[in-house]
Structure 1
Amino acid sequence: MPKYYEEKEPDNRPCAGIREDFRECLLRHDCVVKEGKLPSECLKEGHCKALQTSFFECKRSMLDNRSRFRGRKGY
């Protein structure tokens, strides 16, 4: 599901794949495009909830000491 673009330079930050998909989901959603709302307003309405949860879990796993051995969650 992650979208990797060849013309873009690779992002080496943690959770970069989920971050990019979450950003694209919000910016391309009808709530932002057609209604002209801010992405933060669309998040409050519950759009892109699955990607938001996955991004939160990935960021939270960076703080978990067990993830040093098991690896980060996400893709």
Structure 2
Amino acid sequence: MQQTDEYKYLGMWMSPLGCMKTKNEKISMKSQWVGRLGSAARMRASKYDVLQEVWKSVAVPSITYGAAVTKA
């Protein structure tokens, strides 16, 4: 059997040091989304409404899923 340093399981990169690769990928994705949200909010009349809807429809489900996966 061949041994590897890291592998992907249920969408998370696992290695002897933990899930740092997945954590760094998620942080990078979050930064990209914050930039996109800022751009969208600047283009709209009601910035608060745009950000609130995106938070409820994208961020909350992502955080909930991430918390459930990393807990297990």
Which is strand-richer, 1 or 2? 2
Larger Rg: 2
Using CA pairs under 8 Å that are at least 6 residues apart, name the structure with larger relative contact order, 1 or 2. Answer: 1
| TM score, norm. by length of structure 1 | 0.36
| TM score, norm. by length of structure 2 | 0.37
Which is helix-richer, 1 or 2? 2
